[in-house]
Amino acid sequence: MFKAVSALQGVSFNDGIAEVRELGLRGMITLRGDLADKKLIKAVKGFAGRMPEPRTVALKDDNIAAWMSSDELLLMVPHEDVSSTIETLNASLQGTHFLAANVSDARGVFEVIGPHAREVMAKLAPVDFSPDAFKMGMFRRSRLAQVPAAFWMNEQDAFTVVCFRSVAEYMFDLLSIAAQAGSEVDAL
Amino acid sequence: MLILDCPCCGVSGEETEFHAGGEAHLKRHSVGSTDDQFEEYLFMRENPHGVHLERWRHNNGCGKWFHAARCTTTLEVFGTYSAQTYEPPQEIKDAISARRPGWSWRNFS
């Protein structure tokens, strides 16, 4: 059996206006189906405590359910729990039209923390990051510079960024450069 | 710069978050159609100076297709609407009429 490793193996950048680090392995499951289906809602409630509203994220302990589109959720669990979670989903959704696919190793996950985290994000994405516009619990898919990404806040001034694994190095370089020392804009 | 509201996920984003998908409401003439119809489908496109109906995809977002009504001259966006329709809904037509009275585009007005 091979040993799973994340794209950048936990690399971090600490010398700037915000701390950037790769969060290592995280279990991710794409769940597609009819989001209004009772069985699916029940399964998601069992997983994350509640069904996430459009463009939001539901968190319960280590489990995260994020609204990706009108027919897709992204479920996040500790990396070692992926198989058992998929088995649970397969069992509870039997008979409905759905897909639960393990996409853990197709993704890179980063965290941007610090009082200037909003600024670092705002430099890269065409999204309003002012505290009145981007709030806790919101989940946004957009782009960071040239690559697609999804992000939300786990706590104040702590963004989690999910991107494709193939662009993880680009993403880390991007976030590190946007966070370089002395690059505060103080616009937000 | 266009600001589009995706009717599928509700995000209001600027145009680099989306991708243009060409003219809207084309009939896909294929098997059983005449050569003229097929030529029309393949090559004949509107190129208006004003109101235009287009397909767009929210490629850096929810990934869904939708329709947008906009002005090619001023880049004003009149509205966006579902992809699952053969013609613009009445509220989009009304929104265009409010800004561009007497507009017409192909056989819509």
Condensed to tens digits (0 to 9), the pLDDT of residues A129-165 reads: 999 999 999 999 999 999 999 999 988 999 999 999 9
Digit-coded pLDDT (tens) for B60-74: 999 999 999 999 999
Would you say A104 and A156 are in contact if contact means Cβ atoms under 8 Å apart? no
Over range B20-47, report the average pLDDT.
94
B69: amino acid identity, one letter: A
Packed helices A117-124 and A168-178: angle between N→C axes, nearest 10 degrees: 120
User: Could you give all domains of chain B from N- to C-terminal order, each with its CATH number?
Assistant: 3-99 (3.30.2270.10)
Residue type, A137: G
- The percentage of chain A sitting over the pLDDT mark of 90, rounded to a whole number, equals 94
DSSP string computed for chain A: -PPP--SSTT-EE-SSSSEEEE----EEEEEEE-TT-HHHHHHHHHHHSSPPPTTBEEEETTEEEEEEETTEEEEEE-GGGHHHHHHHHHHHTTTS-EEEEE-GGGEEEEEEESTTHHHHHHHHSSS--STTTS-TTBEEEEEETTEEEEEEEEETTEEEEEEEGGGHHHHHHHHHHHT-TT------
What is the rounded average pLDDT of the residues A17-44? 96
What gap in Å lies between CA A117 and CA A112, rounded to an integer?
6
CATH code 3.30.1360.120 region(s) in chain A: 12-24+106-178
Residue type, A51: M
Element (DSSP H or E) covering residue B92: helix B90-99
B61/chain A closest Cα distance in angstroms:
5
Q: Which CATH architecture has domain A27-104?
A: 2-Layer Sandwich (3.30)
CATH class of A12-24+106-178: alpha beta
Q: How far is B19 from chain A (nearest CA, A)?
A: 12
Do residues B101 and B83 make contact, with C-beta atoms less than 8 angstroms apart? no
Q: Residue B8: is its pLDDT beyond 80?
A: yes
Which residues in chain A touch residue B60, judged by CB atoms under 8 angstroms apart?
141-143, 148
The complex scores an ipTM of: 0.88
Supply the pTM of this predicted model: 0.90
Q: Which of B8, B17, B60 sits opposite A69 (nearest CB)?
A: B8
Please give, rounded to a whole number of angstroms, the shortest distance from the CA of B60 to a CA of chain A.
5
Numbered ranges of CATH 3.30.70.1520 in chain A: 27-104
